[in-house]
Structure 1
Amino acid sequence: MKAWLTEQPDGIRLTLHVQPGARKSEVAGEHGEALKIRLAAPPVEGKANAALLLWLAGCLQVPRKAVSLLSGERNRHKIVAVTGIGAVEALARLLPASSQA
């Protein structure tokens, strides 16, 4: 399993390195022990965090309320919890997106 993906009893936990202000939102590979996400939203007043959670929900095909930011509100390094999805399913949905980059 990947270092940035941890299976939890109710879902998964993702360790992310987020780069706001990109041209488009996409998975950009791995950054150390984190999954790197390029995010189209600017890092202004929580807009990037809101956009990140919405984008992750769409990418993982879970409801927006299933995705929550656990830490890193004002940091590029973030930990996100996603309920209702397993690690294998999450990998299959996140990594095909990175191979299209």
Structure 2
Amino acid sequence: MSVDVDALVALSAELGVAAERVGRSGPETAVTDALAAMPGSDTAAVLAPLPDAVARAVAETAGRIRSMAGATARSAVAYADTDAAVARKLSRQLDRLGGDR
């Protein structure tokens, strides 16, 4: 199995940027503006809770993307650390066997 640690690091960074963009997107403002355009209507009354629900959903989505970014970054470190540890162990084994590298 081969793991591209640099690709994982890049993906983590891209996910971090995506999380920030999602978090700043503010789609609830459009809903609030639409509701303000129909004051007193039955539609506005039914949709009144929507801006808060949208804001919560966007915040949760941004948080989950941030979690994926963190998990990806931790995976990159773990793969790199494991690779280095295995290389050290193999090197010691070769030294014990008197092998050339």
Q: Higher strand fraction: Structure 1 or Structure 2?
A: 1
Structure of greater relative contact order (alpha carbons < 8 Å, 6+ residues apart): 2
Q: Higher helix fraction: Structure 1 or Structure 2?
A: 2
Report the TM-score, using the length of structure 1 for normalisation: 0.21
Report the TM-score, using the length of structure 2 for normalisation: 0.21
Report which of the two structures shows the higher radius of gyration computed on alpha carbons. Answer: 2
